[in-house]
Amino acid sequence: MKPKSISAAKDNQLTRRTTDCILFAIVCVLLLIYTGIFIYLNLCKYIQHVDSDIAAEALLAREIWQEKDFTPGTWIASTDRRVLGIPSLASLFYGVSGSMNFSMGISCIIVGGALLVTIAYTLKRCHFSHLGIATGVLVLCALPIGGLRNEGQMVPFVMLLWFLFAGYYALHCICLFLCIAFYSYLREAVPSRESRSRSSVRCAFAWLALTGFCGALALGGMRCLQIVILPLLVLEVLLLFFESDHMSKPLPRERWHATLFVLSLLAVGMLARLYPANIEYPLYLQTANGMVDRLTRDIPAAVLECLGISGNCTLSSLSALMQLGILMVLVLTVYGLCFLFAGKKIPFNQKLLLQALGASFLLTVLIETVTTAELAHNYFFAIWFVIMATLAAMISYYEKTAPFFARLIIVCVCIFAICNIFYTYKDCITTNDNLAEYEEVISYMDSENISCGYAEFWDASRICAMTDGRLTMGHCYRMEDLRMYWWLTSTKWYVGNLPEEMPTAYIIHKEDKEAFITQFADPSIVSLGYENDRFAVYISEYNLVPMT
């Protein structure tokens, strides 16, 4: 009987390993599919999906290369003036290729890939299992459903991470995960005397590198403080408070290494604020009623929208199935957090990771609750990381204690990922003819040999990017008041740096034609050259937009 029991146990163990290997292979295949989709969209469909806000990143990359300055004085920034960002990397590719769009596409791929690798490394550093790591990364890619409609074209929320946030947040997220990994390392048990000397040099190098990385990002504005520095500071203060039993017991000397690391990040963040990097927008505290409304209604709605909850579908549709799936994921995440933390069944490093990611998310919630800062769903993207890390922790734990439940979670994630390819990404990959009016305007300007024009912001940068910089398109705040709009533009594109006498096109929305004409004392200074269903193109022998 005993040999048979041993044989059966070995067979069961072999079956478990085979099942886990198959699941791991399926997860990796789905990751490759999603990665392939991201690469394809960045390289082949960049123009199809970007708006003028994102297209301005490509224009800045060209400006950086032309001026040979990472912060060109000719460029008018928006809310920050980044020293380190995607345009900095894209400018190098622009110098080689001469293509703004290719340069931004390849740069987004590199930084997006670096983000996934960094997350996988941090999960490994925090002792997640291989299945937990792979599934967690797949969750990050496949969990958010739906997206935004840009000129009728679906742009998934995760693609916004690779496009818009690759310029604004991806580097900050890389910094966040690396800082969490290093903080976790500093909190681990003290190494032996022999290994301590070998690791001290690497530790010092990592410390300096992360501090410099964080400082470079902080030079650009408040985002690094919000996403990286302040969450780690808040977490460290709370941990010190509870670990010292309400400041009543002394802590080991080695414990303060982690504190010094967080304080060094805070120091470079504060010093970076001396750099004139951004336009200061006044923020005010919310009223009491405003805080309650935001916390109980607006913020939960924005978080759900960030995950893809949009409603407006019948319960029998795929859309309803996917949105209900998101709600089930949220329920599973809440259960996982309560179970792992309440039962103290989570390793120390994984606990730190979840606490740090949760602190980043909750700090954003706090800022949006108590201030009048703009409330946008994409500000709450840290919820993706919390869900990803929670599911990865559950899989890592249940692999040993309840393998069937762990495999069930993985299978559900894989099914959800497959469904999301058809629900979100099929529409995203399919090219809709949503740029026809823009292309007609570009063709007209080319036929008239006009290389300079002006339009409102949401049209100008996009037209410039569609031509890969062949046309220079400055923008005005309103076309019925021809003045430079000081937002994500170059001072080289306006009178003062351009001659007044030059063929110029003015691209107007059809409903604004009359208001555009009435601003001139002599209406004959411009003439209607082309018109389609959306735009009217006026031409003139004069450039009428001064740099004021």
Q: Helix or strand or coil: residue 308?
A: coil
**Measured distance CA(355)–CA(389) in Å, rounded:** 10
Q: Are both 191 and 148 inside the same structural domain?
A: yes
- Radius of gyration for the alpha carbons in the chain, expressed in angstroms and rounded: 26
pLDDT confidence band for 95 (50 / 70 / 90): very high
Average pLDDT for 279-301: 85
DSSP 509: E
The answer to whether the beta carbons of residues 259 and 234 sit under 8 Å apart is: no
Strand-pair partners of 472: 452
* Structure confidence at residue 66 (pLDDT): 92
Q: Is residue 522 part of a domain?
A: yes
Is residue 68 domain-resident? Answer: yes
Reported for 235-242, long-range contacts at CB under 8 A and 24+ positions apart, including other chains, are: 235/355, 235/356, 235/359, 236/262, 239/355
pLDDT at 65 over 90: yes
495: β partners: 498, 546
Predicted confidence at residue 193, as pLDDT, reads 44
454 with 424, same domain: the answer is no
Distance CA 127, CA 106 (A): 32
Residue 61 has what pLDDT?
A: 93
Q: Examine the domain organization and report whether 196 and 239 are in the same domain.
A: yes
pLDDT of residue 194: 45
Q: Residue 240: pLDDT above 70? A: yes
Tell me: do 414 and 453 sit in the same domain: no
Domain that holds residue 525: 436-542
Q: Report pLDDT digits (tens) over 484-535.
A: 988 888 999 999 889 999 999 999 999 999 899 998 888 889 999 999 989 9
Q: Which of 380, 399, 429 is the last residue of a domain?
A: 429
532 inside domain: yes
Residue 228 lies in a domain: yes
In this predicted model, what pLDDT tens digit does every residue of 144-176 receive, in sequence order? 888 776 666 667 777 776 666 666 788 999 999
Both structure tokens of 485: 């709009």
* Inside any domain, residue 547: no
Residues 133-145 pLDDT 10s: 999 999 998 888 8
- Rounded (10°) CA dihedral 257, 262, 263, 265: 130
State whether residue 536 is helix, strand or coil.
strand
Could you say which of 429, 463, 489 is where a domain stops? 429
And the tokens for 273? 């604020």
> Same domain for 158 and 240?
yes
**Predicted pLDDT of residue 123:** 95
Q: What is the mean pLDDT of residues 469-494?
A: 90
Domain count across the chain: 2
**Could you tell me if residue 311 is inside a domain?**
yes
Given a contact cutoff of 8 angstroms between Cβ atoms, the answer to whether 378 and 165 are in contact is: yes
Q: Is the pLDDT of residue 315 over 60?
A: yes
Residues 14 and 99 in one domain: yes
**Residue 456 β-bridge partners:** 476
466 plus 418 within the same structural domain: no
Residue 126: pLDDT band by 50, 70, 90 thresholds? very high
Calculate mean pLDDT across residues 61-86.
86
Is residue 148 classed exposed, middle or buried when 0-12, 13-18 and 19+ CB atoms within 10 A define those classes? middle
Q: Which residue has the higher pLDDT, 283 or 537?
A: 537
Indicate whether 482 and 372 sit together in one domain. no
In degrees and rounded to multiples of 5, residue 182 shows phi and psi of -70, -40
Residue 228: closest CA among 321, 356, 343:
356
pTM comes to 0.90
DSSP string, 142-176: HSS--EEEETTEEEEHHHHHHTHHHHHTHHHHHHH
pLDDT on residue 28: 95
Domain boundary residue among 389, 406, 429?
429
| Residue 179 located in a structural domain | yes
Same domain for 360 and 496? no
Could you tell me if 153 and 49 are in contact, meaning their C-beta atoms sit under 8 angstroms apart?
yes
Arithmetic mean of pLDDT over the chain:
87
Q: What percent of the chain has pLDDT over 70?
A: 91
253 and 354, same structural domain?
yes
Average pLDDT for 341-361 = 89
User: Residue 191 above 80 pLDDT?
Assistant: no
Model confidence at 62, pLDDT cuts 50, 70, 90, reads very high
Instruction: Report which secondary-structure segment, H or E, holds 207.
Output: helix 193-218
**Is the domain of 531 the same as that of 484?**
yes
| 174 and 88 in a common domain | yes
Q: Is the pLDDT of residue 268 over 90?
A: yes
Least confident of 135-139, 261-265, 374-378, 416-420: 374-378
Domain presence at residue 548: no
